[in-house]
Amino acid sequence: MSQDSRALILAAVDIVPLISQTVALKRRGRKFVGLCPFHTEKTPSFTVDQVKQAFYCFGCKASGSVFDFVMKRDRVEFKEALEILARSAGIELPQFGGKKMASGERQAMLDALSAACRFFENQFNAPGGGGARAYLRERGFDETTIKKFQVGLALDSWDSLLKGPVGKKFSIGTLVQAGLIKPRDKGDGHYDVFRNRIMFPIKNESGQIIAFGGRVVPGSTDPAKYLNSPETILFNKSRSIFGLDMARQKIVESRVVAVVEGYTDVMMAHQFGASNVVSVLGTAMTEQHVGVLRRFADRIVLLFDADSAGDAAVDRVVQLFLTQPVEIGVATMPEGLDPDEFLLKEGTKGFEQLIGGAADALEYAWKQLARKFVRESGDMTGQQKAAQQYLELLANARRGGPVDTLRWGGALARVSRLMDIPVEVLHRKFGKTGQKEAGRPISGQNVGESGSARPTGGRYLAESQVLGVLLIAPRIWGRVQTVMTVEDFADQRLKALAEVYWNHQREEGEPVFNEFIDSLKEAELKSLAIELADAVEELDLEVTLSGALQYLSESRQRSAEQKIVATLRRSGEEQELSEEEQVKLLVKLQESARRPDLRRVGRS
C-alpha cells in the first residue's frame, strides 16, 4: 500500500479514542494512562501521548503508532490494520497494485511549494509589491507578523511563477501535482493557479508548506475574493488547519483553541499574543478538523461574526458537539466587526474575555432560537416555537452519527425544562442513544519482556538527548548534521536509530513524529524513540542540545588525546614510531591541551 494512504490515516485517526475502545484511559497531565492490554498488570503503566500520537508501556515495552496498536490488539498484519483504520476513518484506499507516489515525488512537491513561497515573498518585498504592503499596513499588521507568516504576492501575470526560477527548477509534473500550475483548457501549455493575489502559505502541523491561500489585491475585479490551492496528496481542505504549526504549543499549554474564519484573523490574533488561534480556511468545520484539534485541545471555541452565525452554521456546530468527544463553544463578534478589527479595538484582554465567555454549542443554539422567536418576556407562543425548532435541530444533529449519551441527556433535560415535558417522554420520542460496549481489553497476552536495561553514563545521556531533541524538533537537524554524523554515536541502538533518522531527513525531509515511529521496523527502536522524545520534551531544547553537543565534542577530544598518549607510550616501549612522528603527536597533544574545558569553565 502507498505511503500516501499510510500518511492520510496517521493524520486522520486520533490515537486516544482508538485505544479508548480497548483501554480505560485517564488523563494524567499531558498524557493518558491505563492498564496495558498486552500484559497482565495491576498498576497502570500504559501511556498514550495525544500530541505525539504514540503509545508506550513501561512494563512490557510495547509501543508505536495507531498501526502498531491495531496489529497487536487484533493480531493482524499491517495490510489488515491499514484496512481496519481506513474504514474507521472513512478513507478509501487505492486498489492493491495501483499507482504509488514515491517518497521522492512527495519531497519534490514540498520543495516546489517552499520555493514558490520564497518567490512570492520576494515579489511582495519588491517595488511591485508596494500596493500589497500598503494594504496590510493599513489593516494594522506589523513587519514581524508579515515575515512570521511568510506573506507573499502573486503578480498579475498568467505565468510569472512558471517562467521564473521555480518553473525552471521543477518539472511541469511536479508543479501540477503541487497545485501551483494548471494545464490550459484549450491548446497546449500551462498557467499559474494564483494571479494578482496576496499569498498566505498553508502549512501542516510540522511547519511544512502544503498549499497556499490567496486574497485578491485591492482593486481587483476578480469575483473570487479568496482562493485556496486545489486539493493534492499533501493538501485536503477538510483536514488542513491554517496556523496550527504556530499555535500548537499554546494550544497544548492552555488546552483551548479558538477557530476563526480567515488568514488575517489568525495573523492579527498572533500579533496580539493570542497564539492559540487557527482557521479552517473559510470552510465549515468538519469531523476531520475536530479530530486534529482535539489531539491538542480539550475545548474548541468557534468565533462567528454576526453575518456567519446563520441556521446552517448553528446546526453544524450542534451536530459536532453531540457527536465529537470534545467541548465545543461558540462566541459571536459584535455587529460589524471582524476578529482582526475587534483585536485592534479591544486588545488581547477583550479578545480573551470573548473566548472565555463562549457558550457551549447547545446553549448558543437555544439563545439563537430564542432571539429569533421570542419577542418579549412571557411570550409563550414564541417560546414554544423556539423549543420545537430546538427539538428538530437535535433530531437532525442526531442523524449525523452516534451521539455522546451524557450530552444527549443534557440536551433533552434542557428541552424538558423549556417545554414542561417529562424527560422520559422525550427519551421515548427519540429512542435510545446508547452505543455498543467498547471491546474488552486483551489480558494475559505478554508480547515481550522489558529487555536489557538501558545503558547509563555521560556519553549515552548526551547522545540520547541529541536524538530526543531531533525527534521533537526535526528542523534543527540541518545544524546538528554539520557537527555530528551517525558514526559519532557510540551506543549501537542509538546508532541504529540515528541511521534511520539521518536517512529519512536526507531522502524524505523533516519527519512527522508518528509517521517516523510507524516507519521503524523494529519494535525496540519504536520504544527507544518514544523514550528519548519523552525524556527531553519538558526541557529547554536549545539548552539541552547545546550542552549535549558540547559534551560529545569534548568527549571526542579526550578520546583523541588518550589515543595519542597510548601511541606515544607504546612507541617508547617498542620503538614503533620515528622521532619525527613522535614530535608530530606531541604537537597535536599540546594543541589539544590549549583548548579550554568549557564544562569546567562554566563551573568556576
Domains and CATH numbers, the chain: 3-89 (3.90.580.10), 103-235 (3.90.980.10), 243-439 (3.40.1360.10), 454-604 (1.10.860.10)
Residues in CB range of 54: below 8 A, 6 or more apart:
15, 48, 63, 64, 65, 513, 514, 517, 530
Instruction: Provide the pLDDT for residue 598.
Output: 36
**How far does Cα 239 stand from its chain's mean position?**
11
DSSP character for 510? S
Residues in CB range of 382: below 8 A, 6 or more apart:
370, 373, 374, 375
Which of helix, strand or coil describes residue 360? strand
Counting DSSP H helices and E strands in the chain, the numbers are 27, 16
Residues in the chain: 604
Give the separation between CA 425 and CA 423, rounded to whole angstroms: 5
Give the separation between CA 298 and CA 300, rounded to whole angstroms: 7
Give the separation between CA 178 and CA 234, rounded to whole angstroms: 8
Cα–Cα separations (whole angstroms), residue 20 to 55, 73, 243, 388: 12, 12, 29, 36
As averages over each run of 10 residues, the pLDDT of the chain (604 residues) reads: 73 89 87 89 90 91 91 82 83 57 76 96 95 94 96 94 94 95 88 96 89 92 90 89 90 88 92 93 82 85 72 77 84 84 90 90 84 76 80 78 74 74 76 38 32 61 91 88 89 92 86 86 88 84 85 75 58 54 51 42 31
**Residues 265, 338 contacting (CB under 8 angstroms):** yes
Q: What's the burial of 325, exposed, middle or buried (CB within 10 Å: 0-12/13-18/19+)?
A: middle
Which of helix, strand or coil describes residue 221? coil
pTM of the full structure = 0.62
Cell numbers at residue 435, please? 452505543
Nearest to 211, CA basis, from 195, 197, 226, 232: 232
The pairing of beta strand 359-360 with beta strand 299-304: unpaired
DSSP character for 310? -
**Residues 216, 222 contacting (CB under 8 angstroms):** yes
Output the 3-class SS for 519-542.
HCCCHHHHHHHHHHHHHHCCCCHH
DSSP character for 195? -
Helices marked H in 357-473 — which ranges?
361-373, 380-398, 405-419, 423-430, 458-472
Instruction: Provide the pLDDT for residue 308.
Output: 56
At 281, which amino acid appears?
A: L
Cell numbers at residue 426, please? 422525550
Instruction: Provide the pLDDT for residue 37.
Output: 87
**Residues 191, 197 contacting (CB under 8 angstroms):** no
Cell numbers at residue 534, please? 519523552
Which of helix, strand or coil describes residue 218? coil
